[in-house]
Amino acid sequence: MSFNTFDNKSERIKERIKVNIYGEAFDFDNIDNPLSFLLKITFSSVRPRSRFQVVVSKSRLFFHKSFLMNKYNETFGIDISKDVFDVYGSTSGHDQFKNDELGFKRFLKSLPKNSLVIMEATGYYHYRLAQFLYKQSIFVSVVNPLSVKRFIQMKLAKVKTDKSDAKAICEYGSINEVPLYTALTNVQSECLQLFRLLDSDLKKRTAVKNKIHGEEVLGIPSKWVYRSLKRTKKHLDKEILGIETKVLSLVKKEQQAQLTLLTSIPGIGLKTALFLIVITDGFRKFETASQLCSYVGITPTIRVSGSSVRGRSRISKVGNRKLRMNTFHLNVYNLSS
């Protein structure tokens, strides 16, 4: 491999250079200014990769791409639960706070300027803290718990505690590029809550319908039970209609143009269009179609290794299950029409 340097002040490398591409460490011996040298390297025979790591063996300096571009003074990993959340700082170590407004304020006071706070997406528990820190202009990242789990497994860790998990999240954010969290608007938050309630009510109504059918098959042995089930179904019908009307009015306020475009596509009805807009924030969460496909979980996976493993290609199914289900129904409609 040959290297070109455009820094006239840099001295020649005096001893050997051993380079392993992508995933392995770069080992530079006897480089007086490794950071300057690193920034001036161009690859002439190997395609450059977006992620790389440099190790200067003489002075034991470690450089990572995300670290070189890092503007944060300290990184904090948070393992959050119902009552408390454990915090591990890259320099300050472990601490614990109450998972309430007072605990949030105490944690905020302990944060140095230009800090990055990383936490896992844990359903309801992480939401309030992430929103609070975001509104206080703190850099926040909410990462996929599966990514952190695989990171911990890769280290062959034998201890699992809240403190060790917070430390692992901190280390994960220190060596990986993590996306910054963007807080939901009040309309987005309300729409998501309405969709969760709608999904719950739809499941309840389906269960009640099945129960009514079972009572009818049995010959309605108890008229009181039958009438109660009928009243429950009527109530759920009313609630579902009210939720759908409320979601429609909220989406029309901000995403009327997107709603019109989506409903003009064959196979996409009003409910599917509303769900797509709310989940994707009017498709502003994604820059490319491939990113949206990955979020839905319809990107193909390939399992091929050596001469014996020839797995069938299939979709990954790692993504939003409900959105994937709606996409499947859309494809079935288009194929049948």
pLDDT score of 266: 84
Cβ–Cβ < 8 Å for 282, 255: yes
Residue 6 one-letter amino acid: F
pLDDT score of 26: 37
Cβ–Cβ < 8 Å for 119, 78: yes
Give 17-31 pLDDT, tens digit per residue: 333 333 333 333 333
pTM: 0.65
Cα–Cα distance for residue pair 77/119, rounded to 1 Å: 6
* pLDDT averaged over every residue in the chain: 78
Q: Is a pLDDT exceeding 90 seen at residue 59?
A: no
Q: Is a pLDDT exceeding 90 seen at residue 42?
A: no
Q: Is a pLDDT exceeding 70 seen at residue 38?
A: no
pLDDT score of 332: 60
pLDDT score of 208: 97
Q: For 122-148, give the DSSP string.
A: -TTHHHHHHHHHHHTT-EEEEE-HHHH
Average pLDDT over residues 48-65: 38
Give 161-202 pLDDT, tens digit per residue: 999 999 999 999 998 989 899 888 888 889 989 999 999 999
3-state helix, strand, coil in the chain (%, to 5): 50, 15, 35
Q: Is a pLDDT exceeding 80 seen at residue 147?
A: yes
More confident residue, 284 or 49: 284
Average pLDDT over residues 247-258: 90
Q: Is a pLDDT exceeding 80 seen at residue 43?
A: no
pLDDT score of 212: 95
Q: For 193-259, give the DSSP string.
A: HHHHHHHHHHHHHHHHHHHHHHHHHTT-S-HHHHHHHHHHHHHHHHHHHHHHHHHHHHHHHHHHHHH
Cα–Cα distance for residue pair 86/77, rounded to 1 Å: 8
pLDDT score of 37: 34
Q: What angle do CA 55, 59, 60 make, to 5 degrees?
A: 45
Give 68-79 pLDDT, tens digit per residue: 345 789 999 999
Domains of the chain listed by start with CATH number:
3-68 (no CATH), 74-175 (3.30.420.40)
Residue 40 one-letter amino acid: K
Q: Is a pLDDT exceeding 50 seen at residue 54?
A: no
